[in-house]
Amino acid sequence: MCSTGEVFDAIQKAKAEASEYSTNFFPNLQKLQEWIAAKEFFGAAVGRTAFFFRPDRGFWHLYFCAPNRQELQGALAAIPKLRTEQFVVDLIGLEPDVKSWLSSWDSVGFRLYQKLFRMTRPGKGTTPTGDMNDQRIDFAGKPDAIRLFDMLCQSFDKYAEQLPTLHEIESATQSRQILAARSGEKLAGLLYFDDHRFSSMIRYWLVGSSFRGRGLGSALMGRYLTHAASVRRFLLWVIADNEHAIAKYRQHGFAPDGLFDYVLANKKICQ
């Protein structure tokens, strides 16, 4: 598959008369076009099941659209590449539904690598908390991109947390999607977000270890919530056993909404 049309045709084929359709692929058209143009996105169909592959830092993200469990399991067994290279797949949904699909992946060597859950916060109508005059917080610029990239790579798990490329970070700075916290001339922290019409997703929130305890994390969050005051709902994903981060999000009004992401990895990653 080498075009968006072929991708969407494969998705529709998997959906047609499906008895228990399941997918982890919810494509953003612009991003999909960018991946295809950069030759960073590939597809294959096995019967009615569609698979999509995206390379990332020495491993592959695997996306799927399957009409039912039986066909998914058979299709997975027909792809030898899943046993010879590093692959990660996200299973997203309510926890009982996600667990019901685990056996299909276990049969081809995928194991639970990490578990995340989603948290949300109401937006419009709540009281903004940020100090718009805090000179330590501003929008990151393109010259910050390499340092932002390094901070994210050093602080987050590449297999579990969907890290952006340097190009994506540069584009995000131009779109004013990354708030930066500074200590003098040094980049001390960041809050990276995506806006989608009436909602806003926090992708990463981070303060460097040597800059913690100065209120920079709260200043970043407050500025973000104030900047996005017209948003109806805020969302984020957090690793399920990261109690420190979960407590911080709760302090800012976030609560779990019941949606889970089980990150599975094959034996090339989970030995």
Residues 6+ apart with CB under 8 A from 259: 92, 93, 94, 117, 118
3 confidence band (pLDDT: 50, 70, 90): confident
Taking the C-alpha atoms of residue 148 and residue 154, their distance in angstroms, rounded to an integer, is: 10
- C-alpha to C-alpha distance for 115 and 119, rounded to whole angstroms: 13
Indicate whether 210 pLDDT > 80. Answer: yes
In the predicted model, is pLDDT for residue 29 greater than 60?
Answer: yes
Percent of the chain at pLDDT > 70 equals 96
The per-residue pLDDT for 131 is 64
Single out the residue of 242, 218, 83 nearest to residue 157, CA to CA. 242
Q: Name the more confident of 229 and 105.
A: 105
| Contacts (Cβ under 8 Å, ≥6 apart) of 225 | 126, 128, 129, 130, 234, 252
DSSP state of 168: H
What pLDDT, on the 0 to 100 scale, is given for residue 128? 55
Neighbouring-strand partners of residue 200: 195, 234
Is residue 111 within 8 Å of residue 269, measured between CB atoms?
Answer: no
Res. 126: pLDDT tops 60: no
Among positive and negative, which fits the CA dihedral 75, 41, 110, 100?
negative
Distances (CA, A) of 270 to 75, 76, 90, 112: 22, 18, 15, 8
* Dist CA 203 CA 192 (whole Å): 5
What integer pLDDT is reported at residue 133 of this predicted model?
74
Whether the per-residue pLDDT at 34 is higher than 90: the answer is no
**What's the pLDDT score for residue 114?**
97
pLDDT of residue 227: 82
pLDDT tier at 27 (50, 70, 90 boundaries)?
A: confident
H or E element that contains 33: helix 29-37
pLDDT per residue over 130-153, tens digit each? 566 788 999 999 999 999 999 999
Beta bridge partners of 263: 90, 114
**Would you state the pLDDT for residue 211?**
95
- Average pLDDT over every residue of 199-209: 96
Model pTM score? 0.91
Domains within the chain, CATH numbers bracketed: 4-115+261-265 (no CATH), 124-231 (3.40.630.30)
Structure confidence at residue 134 (pLDDT): 84
For residues 141 and 179, is the Cβ–Cβ distance under 8 A?
A: no
Q: How far apart are CA 33 and CA 28, in angstroms?
A: 9
Buried-state track 139-159, b at ≥16 Cβ within 10 A, e below 16: ebeeebbeebbebbeeebeeb
**Cα torsion angle, 246, 251, 257, 258, sign:** positive
CA–CA distance, 164 with 70 (Å, rounded to integer): 34
- At 224-239, the pLDDT tens digits run 998 877 889 999 999 9
Residue-wise pLDDT for 150-180, tens only, equals 999 999 999 999 999 999 999 999 999 999 9
